[in-house]
Amino acid sequence: MNLRTIIDATMPFLEQALDLKTAQEKLRTLESIPSPAMLQSTRLLRHKVGRRCLIEYTFSNPEPGAPPWVILGKARSRGVDRTSIQCQQALWAAGFNENSTDGISVPENLGTLPEWGMWFQRKIPGRTIFESLESPQGIPIARQVGTALAKLHNTHLPCQRHHTVADELRILHERLPKLLATYPQWERRLARLLEQCDRVGSNIPVPSKPVGIHRDFYPDQVLIRPDGRLYLLDFDLYCMGDPALDIGNFMAHLTEYSLRTTGAPDRLQPQAIAFREQATQHLGHDVSQGSIAAYEWLTMVRHIYISSLFRDRAPFTESLLQFCEESSLIHV
């Protein structure tokens, strides 16, 4: 626990949520927690002051010799994220449960504590697929992720929220100018880039059939268990939209990661192509390849701003800007 955690006035419950005795008493009220289980430890995994946090709770397992039982508590300063909960529960019921025959799941919802603005899910014993994509099994795993995304797109889970290319462009127009506080010399370059974004966006056709999309789909949102089962995570932004956005977003993250870590943006291109082919092959309707490429490029533009927010990524911000400026897509 650190001082910033304790003084986060928007989440005054945090100190209690991290206190072993208090948390044990509170979590006992959840029907999903076995009554003999004792809380062994609490650990703050992530904390965005004023917004949200993620806490890991480790319990002793009532079964002799069994490994500890670990759950995650996700809290927001605005209260329990019931939209995400309902989405995840609906997906679980629609074929993403622990026993799905296709090996594609979402974590099980374990209940809520409204007074802490927190909801719980089981922690999956696995790793995100970034590491797996770089392994000798990278291409088969990329295909498996493409199948998982197509399963999500084909589930037809209704949602009141919608996201269009106009929303995507609005986000870019809001965020890119913020770079001028640090890089005022880029004013003309960023203005030209935003003009190009508008032109690229205007050429993206309205999807004939919007589907439920993840809207933040990238490798860290997919866990792979040691037995190969995949889990899709974090449905905070789930909405109706163009499936090309999810596909392009995932591919752009592979390009950005490769550019930042090795200077070679095409290093994971075989995996990206395998993912794209599988994701589109299993969709119940056609998806525009041009739209995928456009959303991939727009995501790369968004990464220019994102990179400036992290100390370890900031040295690559201009490389991303140059990459987007030189991309062949903007000349189409």
pLDDT tens for 139-163 read 999 999 999 999 999 998 888 999 9
How far, in Å, CA of 259 to CA of 30, rounded? 45
332 pLDDT more than 50: no
Residues 304-317 have pLDDT tens digits of: 999 999 999 999 99
What angle is formed at CA 128 by the lines to CA 218 and CA 46, rounded to 5 degrees?
85
Residue 186 CA: distances (Å) to CA of 150, 191, 195, 328: 39, 8, 14, 21
Its sign, for the CA torsion 139, 140, 142, 146, is positive
Residues 22-48 have pLDDT tens digits of: 999 999 888 887 777 789 999 999 998
Q: What is the layout of strands, in order, in the sheet containing 109-113?
A: 39-48, 52-59, 69-76, 118-122, 109-113
Please give the helix or strand (H or E) that residue 276 lies within, else none.
Answer: helix 269-281
Residue 310 CB coordination number (10 Å): 10
The residue-averaged pLDDT of 101-127 equals 93
127 and 229 in contact (C-beta within 8 Å)?
Answer: no
CA dihedral angle for residue 32, residue 37, residue 38, residue 39, rounded to 10 degrees: -40
Residue 47 CB coordination number (10 Å): 19
Q: What is the pLDDT of residue 193?
A: 97
Average pLDDT across the chain, whole number: 92
62 pLDDT more than 80: no
The domain ranges of the chain are 3-123, 128-331
Residues 6+ apart with CB under 8 A from 255: 265, 266, 268, 269, 272, 296, 300
Residues 126-135 have pLDDT tens digits of: 898 988 999 9
Please give the helix or strand (H or E) that residue 59 lies within, else none.
Answer: strand 52-59
Residues β-bridged to residue 230: 104, 224
The residue-averaged pLDDT of 232-250 equals 96
93 pLDDT more than 80: yes
Question: What's 3-123's CATH class?
Answer: alpha beta
CATH 3.90.1200.10 fits 128-331, yes or no: yes
Same fold, 3-123 and 128-331: no
Confidence of residue 83 (pLDDT cuts 50, 70, 90): confident
φ and ψ at residue 76, rounded to 5 degrees: -125, 150
Confidence of residue 61 (pLDDT cuts 50, 70, 90): confident
